[in-house]
Structure 1
Amino acid sequence: MRVVETAVPGAFLITSEKIRDERGEFYEAMRGDALQSALGHAFEPRQINYSVSRRNTLRGIHSVAVPPGQAKYVTCVRGAVRDILVDLRVGSPTFRHYVVNELDADAGRSVYVPEGVGHGFLTLLDDTCICYVVSSVYVPGTQIDIDPLDPDLALPWDFSEPPLMSPKDASAPTLAEAMEAGLLAAWHDVVPARPRKAQAVEAP
């Protein structure tokens, strides 16, 4: 397993090594020790969610208010998505920056989304299933939604036709509106006092 920090501090791309034989394949989707070594703290799952979507469905950009905050470990277990993380932490050196990853069921890749960072994806195939392992249970009223089509963010979804979106996502505020409303977490509230350098962690 390889854990590599992305251009958004505290967000990681995890790639599993698959072992294949005539029966099929086996791989570790998550290892707590490797993730803790990269993060500098433990990731403690509190809830597991799944979403199943048809092709060209756009979900996001989603985050959770701090407190309670919520980190996510996101894996595509069926189908394929264009996955985007957006740094929503006010005061972050990479505020507004985004990271794009292609996740699919065959690649063995996952993303770790830290507290205060927004997450969304566009499905590329029908019947795509995403697994979210999250660090806090659902608390009504704490969800933060940002317009995934916010022209100021200009996220590269690269869809060729209008995507399918929920009414909630379609009417979500822009990043500027969310900032003005005081919805976003502050950088100093969601990161360790000592910033870490980007690193890659290998697990046998």
Structure 2
Amino acid sequence: MIFTETTLKGAYVLDLEKRGDHRGFFSRTFCAKEFESHHLNSHFVQGNMSHNHFKHTLRGMHYQTDGAEEAKLVRCTKGALLDVILDIRPDSKSYGSYFSVELSEKNGRQLYIPKGMAHGFLTLEDDTEIAYLVSEYYTPGKEAGIRWNDPAFNINWNVEHPILSDKDLAYPDYKKPL
């Protein structure tokens, strides 16, 4: 895997190193030793996936709080999506900044998201699937979110009318923790 750090400290785009022949290719999508050599969390406890029927489905921006913060390793297994992370670590030099990258079935890219970031994605094709590993178990009552168009961050989703859940639409304006 080729690790490229993003503009947000500790977040990486991972490109696959494909070994192939006339049959296809082989590539690792995770290796604990490689993650540890980059000082990344390599302990994942849960794998999740999301199937999205329609282009312009937007899920996010989600995160967990109060000791349930998650590191994530995200991959698009079918279709294409714009993956977005937002640094909400209060003491981070990039606090309030976001990073976006296209993940697709074709490019095979992955995104490593450290703890303390909000995460969301916008599908760019119908029938898009995303699979991701998380370092903490889902903890009811500790989930939180930021509205996709919160004026505090001005994330450029490049879509005017995404398909959203009622929950994602209802998040209030973000307030920095004290």
Same fold (TM over 0.5): yes
**Counterpart of 2:173 in structure 1: which amino acid?**
T
Query: CA offsets, 1:105-133, max 9 Å, x none?
Result: 11121111111111111000111000110
Q: Does 1:12 align with 2:12?
A: yes
Q: Distance in 2 between matches of 1:17 and 1:133?
A: 20
Tell me, yes or no, if the aligned pair for 1:76 and 1:105 is still in contact at 8 Å: yes
* Residue of structure 2 equivalent to 1:172: 171
The residue correspondences of 1:20-169 to structure 2 (distance < 5 A) are: 20-38=20-38, 40=39, 42-53=41-52, 54-159=54-159, 161-169=160-168
Which residue in 2 is equivalent to 1:197?
A: none
C-alpha contact (below 8 Å) 2:48/2:131 kept by paired residues:
yes
1:169-191 CA-to-partner distances (Å, cap 9, x unmatched) read 01112222xx36x6xxxxxxxxx
| Alpha-carbon contact 2:41-2:135 (below 8 Å) kept | no
Contact 1:86 1:118 (8 Å CA) reproduced: yes
Q: What amino acid is the match of 2:30?
A: M
- Residue 34 of structure 1 aligns to a residue whose secondary structure is helix
**TM-score when normalising by structure 1:** 0.82
Question: CA–CA distance in 1 between the matches of 2:40 and 2:58?
Answer: 31
Q: Unaligned stretches of 5+ in structure 1?
A: 183-204
CA shift in 2, pair 1:97/1:42, >3 Å = closer
Equivalent position SS for 2:36: helix
CA distance in structure 2 between the partners assigned to 1:30 and 1:152 by the alignment: 34
Using the aligned pairs only, state the percent identity.
36
Query: Which has the larger helix fraction?
Result: 1
Which AA in structure 1 matches 2:84?
I
Contact 1:76 1:103 in 2 (8 A): yes
CA offset digits 1:149-172 (Å, max 9, x no partner): 11231111001x411001110111
Structure 1 residue 139: Cα displacement = 1.0
